[in-house]
Every structure is written in structure tokens, then in C-alpha cells.
Structure 1
Amino acid sequence: MKLENTQTASRVTAGVTFAARLAFENICHSFGPGAETLRDVSLIAEPGEVLCLLGPSGSGKTTLLRIAAGIEVQSTGRVLLNDREIAGPSVFLPPEKRSIGLVFQDFALFPHLSILDNVRFGLTALSAEEGRREAMIALSRVGLADYAASYPHALSGGQQQRVALARALAPRPAVLLMDEPFSGLDSRLKDAVRAETLAILRESRATAIVVTHDAEEAMRMADRIALLKDGRLVQSGRAEDLYLKPASLFVAGFFSELNVFRGRVNGHCVDTPIGRVPAPDLADGADATVAVRLTGFDVSETAGEIEARILSRRFLGVVELLELAVSGAEAPVRARIRCGALSAKARDIWLSLRKSDVLLFETQRESA
């Protein structure tokens, strides 16, 4: 049986004892003077929720996860599980006392142990027979009961990821932490394993916090997303909130490729090479940044709002990526269009702007 062909019907379902509320209150962390990794982060993962910690490398995502697990200790602030302090100024519960499971990025399976023994490794409070039974339930839950006697080297990357998930779920934790669990998988397998993992998380009903640097992965998995930058929580909310109402240019650029234009507000509008953009909430004279998603253009060979010349054209399957020369633009304007929207010989074309793909920010606030 291969992972790619494993069907949901081959798994058994078993819920956790309960799902917990995990709260971070004013968490700060540093590795020494001038090496701050987290700066006053407050965040809550609600019971049964899948929360994704998203951000670039070095933003503090994994450190926050390690603090929740008890592997790292915060400088200040508190961690609470169902309103009970588990890490703070006067309390520090060791990892094994927290009812928190952790799936490492590299899976961290023991090569000398069978799959069954890997999964029951942490079930030390149970008898050998009870531990074996719980481990088999966990393996069945991820569709790998038939591999109980195998060893990690005999499994694919996707199957090893499932074993790591089964091991973390076997003690039935209240909270499950996953540190970039799909980063080692190839792109074709990643989609299937991610979807199946999400189904398992829903069935187990554990609160889950997943670290990723991939915005699309976060949108696919999360009930809510928390975006971090330089150790600070920049914005949190549903995927729709962060995509449609980004708090800053940084947030917008993390979820979409953008064309960026600078301008000054005049008459509550900003003039740009791609047209005049309304700025009703900005004062006249304010410096503004206009960002347009690559999908924000309709194209035509006969009529439109803006004249453009095609500089390069790349076929990507369903879509084409264009680089365009537009009068007044210092850099080529990029557009992602439906394949076939332009003829093969098209060179001079017209663009029309989709207002829903235009984002406006006051320049001095972009650093948030």
C-alpha cells in the first residue's frame, strides 16, 4: 500500500480526550543582548482550531512553538493551557507534563525501532500491552497499521510524516504542534499528505498550531493565520481577512505577488502609471503606496484603459506571465493572465484595472 493511494476509509477515527485553549501572553524571547527573537507576542489558539504561524525565516515562528512545547523558555510573558499557567514567572511545567504533542520538521523517527515502537515510544505511563494497543490505534488513524513491523528506512517521506503524526497523537494530546511538517515532501505528494493530515487533525479534534513559511499552505490548512515579522505579530485572522484587508504592504506582499507604485495623494486620489486610484481615507499631500496584484489586470488587443507593450511572455499552463512596458513606470509591470486571452502575435495591448486587486497604504505605515 502506498501513501499516495491510501484512502480515508482505510483509517479508523479516534478523538482526543479534550481540545484545549492555548494562550500566549506578552511573550518575549532573546538569545542574548541584541538578539531578540520574539517581541511582546500575544496570541490564542482556540479549542479544536488549526492555527498557522506564518512568516519568513527568522520571524520567530519556531521559537514560539518551542516555547509552547517547553523546549525553550521565554524571557518574559506567560503560556496558559485552558487558563492554567504552564510557563511563566513562577511556573514551568516540563514538556512531558503539558499534554502537548510535537511533530518535528525532520520527523525525528528512531531508525533502530520498528514503526510500532516509534509510535509507542512516548506511552511510558501505560503497560506494554496498553501501549501497543494505543499505538496501533494511532497507526490505524493515519492509515499505516499494515506497516507496524516495518522500519523508517523502508517508508517514503510521506509515510514517515504520518508515523511522526501518529506518534504525536498517540498520547491523545490537548494541543498538537507541527513545525513545517511538509517541507521535506515533493510538491506533488505535499498536497495529498497535507489534505490527509488536515482530515486527521479534524477527526482527532486536537487544537493544532502549524508553523509554515508558505502562505498558500497556511490558507489551505488554517482556521486562522498569525503572521509574524522580526519577532512581532503583524496581523492575525482568517485567510480572507489577511488577503482582502492586509494591514500593511508586508502583509499584502506575503499573500500575493505585487506591482508597487509610489505617489502622493491629490484630491483624494493617487496618480500612477496604471491610472488614478481613489484614496478616500488619506489626507491630501500624504505619501502613498499603491500595490496591484498580478491578477489585477484584464487584457485586450483592441481597447482598454492603459496602453502597454509586451516585453516577455511565459507560458505556465493555465496562465501566462507577462512583463509589460507601461509609460511612466520605472520597472516592467507584471501581469498574470488566463492562457489564450491574447493571440500568439500580440505585442501592443490594452490593460484594464480590476479595482478589487488594488491595495492602498500610507507609505509611512508600511513598516508594520
Structure 2
Amino acid sequence: MDPDPGTQAAEHTRRTAGVTFAARLTFDGIHHSYHGKETIKGVSLTAEPGEVLCLLGPSGSGKTTLLRIAAGIEAQSHGRVMLNGRELAGPGVFLPPERRGIGLMFQDFALFPHMTIIDNVRFGLTAMPQKDAIAEAMGALERVGLAHYAQKFPHVLSGGEQQRVALARALAPRPEVLLMDEPFSGLDSRLKDTIRADTLAILRETRATAIVVTHDAEEAMRMADRIALLRDGTLVQAGTSDDLYRRPCNLFAAAFFSEINEFDGVVRNGLVETPVGEASAQGIGEGTPVSVAVRLSGVGVAEKSGSIPARIISRRFLGVVELLSLAVPGTEKLVRARVRADHLRPGIRDVTLKINRQDILVFEKT
């Protein structure tokens, strides 16, 4: 895909986004089933006014289903959805999507190919007189730096430009909550950072509450005020990126936010022995089976200064870093490490390891 020609100029030419009234969106004990299979299992979660909340998790974790329940496209089997304490969906209540004050931006942008850009953006402004709807849509296009494309059709736009048109259309009605389903997944990797930054700036300007679905932990950390990590329809952990990275609640959460080496062990005298040294297991009972996670970034590799002997089995150059696989005494499992490229001299095989204690995490087995 060619670079988006309007991306760099958009920040300087676009109009300041109109402010909306941020709302609090609450999922209260949400359950959902599909063909007899429970896809959401009692999720309770709140997006605070003006907050960017990312729903993070692997495919099938329930992220998009929660978004569709909030929008009114799907109905939960149990639980309630509330906006500023007002029930949108619950026992005996189900407001249709158009009465919820919630905007939804789809993964594939969903632009109508037979409509001009301005008509795409004003599509949801049916309650306004035509003149007002056109003015509001043009204002939304100006906010994303694409007013000069108003009379063009979607096929002439790059992927990044189509994404910004979809954002303009979602924001044009000034929703109290904006739902975004993997909005950057279809973009060229070279454009993602710029488009994501532009989108976040516009969300901050509008002050709308936003819930963004992603399966990419780094993307969630770049965008979110808070992250809700989901797995198999359950809420695993919610908090800031710092909370989830530094204090993951279990092995799944730890592995989702960083590449890890995993070892099994048993707690003895407040410690657990691993092939890369002892780890503290404070607060975990004597004799408890545990899993030990060691982040790849926490494995220091040097020719002589470490305390653990190791041999390099494979070495993969990745540009800024190298990915190493290492054999260590006491286990047949290879230890992986990421080190700065050119940190180790070419051809070296025998090295030593030193583990950063902050990058060792211990969890009770479940």
C-alpha cells in the first residue's frame, strides 16, 4: 500500500473536533450464548466518562461480542448495559441501536462504494435537515483532514484515508460513547502508528468515551487509559498498562504482555528453584506447585559476567535485537533471550546468563 499522502498534513490542516458529552458505559454481569455455547460469562466492566478503554484478548475471547451487545446489535442473555445509570438493555428493556447514543466503527470501515465521501459521513444524520447534516458531515471531514475529498468516492482513498472517513462518520452524530472494533487491523504497518496517533488525538478532543477492541497488547498500551484483558468470555484483569505489565494476575496475563520463558517448580522456604536461578515466592504456601515466568527481555547474556553458564543453540538477527535460544544445565527446555544486536561477538557459543529479578514472575498453578 502506498503511504497515505494526507496523513502528515492532516494534523496541521484539520479542524478541532467538536466536543461531545462523555458518558459512563457499564456492563453489569453480562452473559451471552451462541448456538448453546456461552461466549460471555458474567463480565462486569465500566468505561468511565472520557476514558479510552481497550478490550484486549485473543480471538474468541468475547471482545467483539461485548461491543455488539453495547451497540444493541446483539442481546445478552443475562445482565444489564447502562449508560450514565440508565438501562439500555436488561430484563424487560432493550433500546434499539439508534436510540442509544452510541457510535460504532467497524473493522472493515464499511464505507458505501456508491456514495460520495460526504454522503458516507452524513449517512447517520437522518434526524437533521439535509443542510445541517451536510454542514455537520463537512465539519467532521475537516476534523480528520479530508474535506478536500468530500465529493470523491471511497475507491480513490488509501486505507489510512478510508479509516479516517469511517472515524468522521462515527463521530459526526457526536455519540456519547464510541465503539471501535479493531480499527487499525486493515492498515499497512507503516501507517498504523501515525493513524493511531491521529485517532487518539481526535478522541481526546471530542472527549467521547471510547471502547477499542484489539488483540495487540502493544496497541492497547499505546492507546488506552485502562485495559480489560479477556479470555474465553471472562474478564481476566482490568487496569492501567502499568498494572497489567508489572503486576499480571496470572500466567496468561503475563504471557499476553511480554514473551516469556516458563518453568515449573515447587515453593520451598519462600523460594522456587529454576534452571536460571532462585525466584522469590513470597505469599505462596510451602510445597505449592507454581509456574515461573521469566521475560525474554530480563535474560541478560554476556561472555563472562553472568552466573549461569549457557550455550547458544540458535541466533536470529531481527534488526535492532537478536533472538537467542540457549541451552542451560538442569533442563532440556531451551531458554530464549532478546539482546541488543551486535552485543555479542560473531561466532561465540559459550556465554553466561544473568536474570533481572524484576522480570521473574511466580504464579500458583491453576
Normalised by the length of structure 1, the TM-score is 0.97
Separation of aligned partners in 2, 1:108 and 1:326: 52
> SS of 2:219's equivalent?
helix
> SS of 2:94's equivalent?
coil
Q: Offset of 1:163 from its aligned partner?
A: 0.5
Q: Determine the structure 2 residue equivalent to 1:199.
A: 201
Q: Is the 8 A contact 1:235 1:247 kept in 2?
A: yes
Please list the CA deviations of residues 225-252 of structure 1 after superposition, one character each: whole Å capped at 9, or x if unmatched: 0000000001000000000000000000
Q: Determine the structure 2 residue equivalent to 1:290.
A: 292
Q: Determine the structure 1 residue equivalent to 2:168.
A: 166
> SS of 2:87's equivalent?
strand
The list of structure 1 runs, each at least 4 consecutive aligned residues, that deviate by more than 6 angstroms after superposition, is none
Q: Determine the structure 2 residue equivalent to 1:28.
A: 31
Instruction: Within 5 Å, give how 1:189-228 maps onto structure 2.
Output: 189-228=191-230
> SS of 1:194's equivalent?
helix
Q: Is the 8 A contact 1:16 1:174 kept in 2?
A: no
Q: Offset of 1:88 from its aligned partner?
A: 0.7
Q: Is the 8 A contact 2:80 2:90 kept in 1?
A: yes
Q: Determine the structure 1 residue equivalent to 2:250.
A: 248
Q: Determine the structure 1 residue equivalent to 2:7.
A: 4
Separation of aligned partners in 1, 2:154 and 2:161: 9
Q: Is the 8 A contact 1:30 1:37 kept in 2?
A: yes
Instruction: Within 5 Å, give how 1:68-107 maps onto structure 2.
Output: 68-107=70-109
Q: Offset of 1:14 from its aligned partner?
A: 2.7
Q: Is the 8 A contact 2:181 2:213 kept in 1?
A: yes
> SS of 1:295's equivalent?
helix
Separation of aligned partners in 2, 1:6 and 1:89: 49
Amino acid at match of 1:160: Q
Q: 2:315 aligns with which of 313, 316, 323?
A: 313
> SS of 2:192's equivalent?
helix
Q: Determine the structure 2 residue equivalent to 1:53.
A: 55
Q: What percent of counterpart residues are identical?
A: 66
Q: Is the 8 A contact 2:17 2:202 kept in 1?
A: no
* Counterpart check, 1:258 vs 2:269: no
> SS of 1:324's equivalent?
strand
Q: Offset of 1:302 from its aligned partner?
A: 1.6
Separation of aligned partners in 2, 1:257 and 1:77: 35
Q: Offset of 1:103 from its aligned partner?
A: 0.3
Separation of aligned partners in 1, 2:167 and 2:87: 26
Amino acid at match of 1:209: I
Q: Offset of 1:304 from its aligned partner?
A: 1.2
Q: Structure 1: any 5+ residue segments left out of the alignment?
A: none
Please list the CA deviations of residues 290-340 of structure 1 after superposition, one character each: whole Å capped at 9, or x if unmatched: 100000112211221100000111111111110001111222110001122
Q: Structure 2: any 5+ residue segments left out of the alignment?
A: none
Normalised by the length of structure 2, the TM-score is 0.97
The number of equivalent residue pairs is 363
Separation of aligned partners in 1, 2:354 and 2:201: 41
> SS of 2:93's equivalent?
coil
Q: Determine the structure 2 residue equivalent to 1:19.
A: 22
